[in-house]
Structure 1
Amino acid sequence: MQRPAPDRPSGPPPPPSAPRHLGRLAQQRRDARALERAEAARDLAGLSDMDAVAPAPMPDWMVEAERRRGRGALSNPAGRFEPHSRERFDDGWQGLDDLPPFRTSVTVEKPRTIINRNESPDVGFDRSINPYRGCEHGCVYCFARPTHAYQGLSAGLDFETKLFAKPDAPELLAKELAKPGYEPRTIALGINTDGYQPIEREWRLTRRILEVLRDFGHPVGIVTKSALVVRDFDILGPMAEKGLVKVALSITTLDAKLARIMEPRAATPSRRLDTLRRLSEAGVPTAVLVAPVIPAVTDAELERILDAAVAAGATEAGYVMLRVPLEIRDLFREWLLTHFPDRYRHVLSLLKELHGGREYDSTFGQRMTGTGPYAWTLARRFEIAAERLGLNRRHTRLTTRHFTRPPQKGEQLSLFGEGI
């Protein structure tokens, strides 16, 4: 005799039974998750266009994304020496959407001297050359941004779009090196702004400066984020053979996506590593500079960057902690809150830990490394990694013994010189 089929309950089918190896509590959790998904699907299906949440309006101080495409800073506040501040305001006559995007412009600067003197004990040089003012690389953390205030410009987008070039720099350098009282020491090239930033392709000031240093037999140390440095192999190679040049590549992260939003117009991390390799293969002494280390953003990559740099041929290394003096503090906060809102408070907390409760301390001996447990831990990590990889076991010391003053135009040769 056939039994009648039981009545099927109405409504959605029950969730599938759990495998036998799952216990009663696991089954209950699975049932609860299935019920939550069903309720969420029902709520979503009942939403109308009027129920959609509008995106938060862009703050007035931030420049539209389309106008600052390919730039690092998010705003363009007035310089700290300006008597008036600027603010976006639509008066109804012209829409803010009609404003043009930021374009790179270059203004000629005519300085009287080109060698800058430095007395800071935190760096290993006492003189430097900057053929440009401002930098198109757009690194949001760049410690040189506040210098644009001396031109009446913003440390924000102005710094990376309104640039200055010094076309007389090579001639000024030759004149200063030729002075009888000049004593040669290693000149640092590309410290305040990168000497190989994109406009160098057209202006070629860094190359011409290197030609002057080569002719005088003067030592030079180069720091850059650009792959353009390999263009000057014909100058750097012969100088390296005489112990006159060393090149350091600054690598902040190996994450190309992070590099894109943090230093948008600099070479990608992979290209910088390739540049290290090509320089090393050409016999040019190379170093890697992990700078800056940004707490809770790039600090976890310290060992990986050193590993990759050693594989590319680097024999020396250094690191610098993030510095946020003057206008950089607010520019960095804007960037951090936009791109890493979940880490915002944590990063600022670590910065304050590094500098005794402040976000920045300019005290010599502390400003580039910080103090406290976090700074100590990072320093030990760097030391251990450098020891493991064989970094800094031998430092390339540049020499001044090749320094000579070539005869200037119209200058009488020495009585006992080779020309007699």
Structure 2
Amino acid sequence: MHYVTSKSLLSAKNGMNLYRGCTHGCIYCDSRSDIYNMGHSFEDIEVKENALELLKKELIKRPKSMIGTGSMTDPYVPLEKNLEYVRKSLELIYRYGFGFTCITKSDLILRDLDLLKKINEKSKVVVQMTITTADDGLCRILEPNVCPTSRRVEVLKRFDEADIPTVVWLSPILPHINDDEENISRILDYCIETNVYGIICFGMGMTLRQGNREYFYERLDESFPGLKDEYIRRYGDSYSISSPNNDKLMRIFQKRTEENGILNNHNEIFDYLHDFPQDSVQSTLM
């Protein structure tokens, strides 16, 4: 871990990254890609030491809206347990009447359930949880340093009980590893059981580019000997990699989500994530 001083925190679309880098160890992580110019070891997490000061200044100036985090770095990395940058950000978001959404794989988010409930009562909260495999054993290989899928399902249940909507990222799906009908069906079962609002799925596949490709192949050699050669033979240096089972699995995905009233159009889900309830604006002005 190391500290930096930043000039700004929120993007034009109100996204924030309190940290850069991650220690979850997910073998497929696109954030390792060279294109992001990390400039330091991925596991040496960069902490924006003045993030809370910046957030307060920017919330005062901006119109009420949804604040999002987690697109580049999971906000609930283990060091958050002690630093509490996310929790302190949530306190500011609540104080100034904004909404909140985040993407995570960690059950540490339950620590902040009290604040998330307060924000949701005042404006809006949506919790986004990534689930790639239904099998905890495989999960520990693909995402070794974060809670397993069974625990994430428990987290989704807790938020459902708290009337906080959830969205699941069914991504990535790794060819010849988790791209089978049983896995997808079990994940969909979990989503149905926990009443998720929507599932984001861009197709059954993954992305690889310089930086994350090399790391991914090293992990394949460790846990799936010989599979790297199949990837190289089939996909070469392609950025977007589709499972050979894509068509069949997407038919299952479409059918089961539609049957169970789960939103499956990612553009509509993104609109929902960014939509800030106007009645919240009125209540904060009164």
TM-score interval (norm. to shorter): 0.7 to 0.9
Letter in 1 for 2:276: T
Equivalent pair of 2:209/2:237 in contact (CA under 8 Å): no
**Which of these residues, 341, 358, 376, is aligned with residue 225 of structure 2?**
341
2:4 is matched with: 109
Instruction: Show structure 1 runs of 5+ residues with no match.
Output: 1-105, 118-125, 362-369, 407-416
- Counterpart CA distance in 2 for 1:148 and 1:203 is 28
- Counterpart CA distance in 1 for 2:259 and 2:158 is 24
TM-score (norm 1): 0.60
2:176 is matched with: 296
3-state SS of the aligned residue for 1:325?
Answer: coil
Report how far residue 333 of structure 1 moved: 1.4
Equivalent pair of 1:115/1:129 in contact (CA under 8 Å): yes
**Which of these residues, 364, 383, 387, is aligned with residue 254 of structure 2?**
383
Give matches, 1:30-49, under 5 Å.
none
3-state SS of the aligned residue for 1:209?
Answer: helix
Report how far residue 128 of structure 1 moved: 1.1
> Considering only aligned residues, what root-mean-square deviation do their CA atoms show, in Å?
2.8
Equivalent pair of 1:148/1:159 in contact (CA under 8 Å): no
1:250 to 2:130 alignment: yes
- Counterpart CA distance in 2 for 1:339 and 1:372 is 19
1:359 is matched with: 238
TM-score (norm 2): 0.85
User: Is the alpha carbon distance of 1:319 and 1:349 closer, same or farther for their aligned partners in structure 2, counting shifts above 3 Å?
Assistant: farther
Equivalent pair of 2:126/2:165 in contact (CA under 8 Å): yes
Report how far residue 163 of structure 1 moved: 1.1
3-state SS of the aligned residue for 2:5?
Answer: coil
User: Is the alpha carbon distance of 1:289 and 1:111 closer, same or farther for their aligned partners in structure 2, counting shifts above 3 Å?
Assistant: same
- Counterpart CA distance in 2 for 1:133 and 1:222 is 15
**Which of these residues, 117, 132, 146, is aligned with residue 19 of structure 2?**
132
Give matches, 1:308-323, under 5 Å.
308-320=190-202, 321-323=205-207
1:141 to 2:28 alignment: yes
1:399 to 2:276 alignment: yes
The structure, 1 or 2, with the larger RCO (C-alpha pairs under 8 Å, 6+ apart) is 2
3-state SS of the aligned residue for 1:299?
Answer: coil
Equivalent pair of 2:179/2:245 in contact (CA under 8 Å): no
**Which of these residues, 42, 47, 53, is aligned with residue 159 of structure 1?**
42
**Cα-to-partner distance string for 1:124-156 (whole Å, 9 max, x where unaligned):** xx3311111111111121111136973533xxx
**Which of these residues, 157, 164, 171, is aligned with residue 53 of structure 2?**
171
Equivalent pair of 2:175/2:244 in contact (CA under 8 Å): no
- Counterpart CA distance in 2 for 1:266 and 1:234 is 22
Instruction: Show structure 2 runs of 5+ residues with no match.
Output: none
Report how far residue 183 of structure 1 moved: 3.8
2:112 is matched with: 232
Equivalent pair of 2:22/2:45 in contact (CA under 8 Å): yes
3-state SS of the aligned residue for 1:288?
Answer: strand
Equivalent pair of 2:208/2:238 in contact (CA under 8 Å): yes
Letter in 1 for 2:46: F
Identity across matched positions, percent = 31
Which structure's CA Rg is the greater one?
1
User: Is the alpha carbon distance of 1:151 and 1:246 closer, same or farther for their aligned partners in structure 2, counting shifts above 3 Å?
Assistant: closer
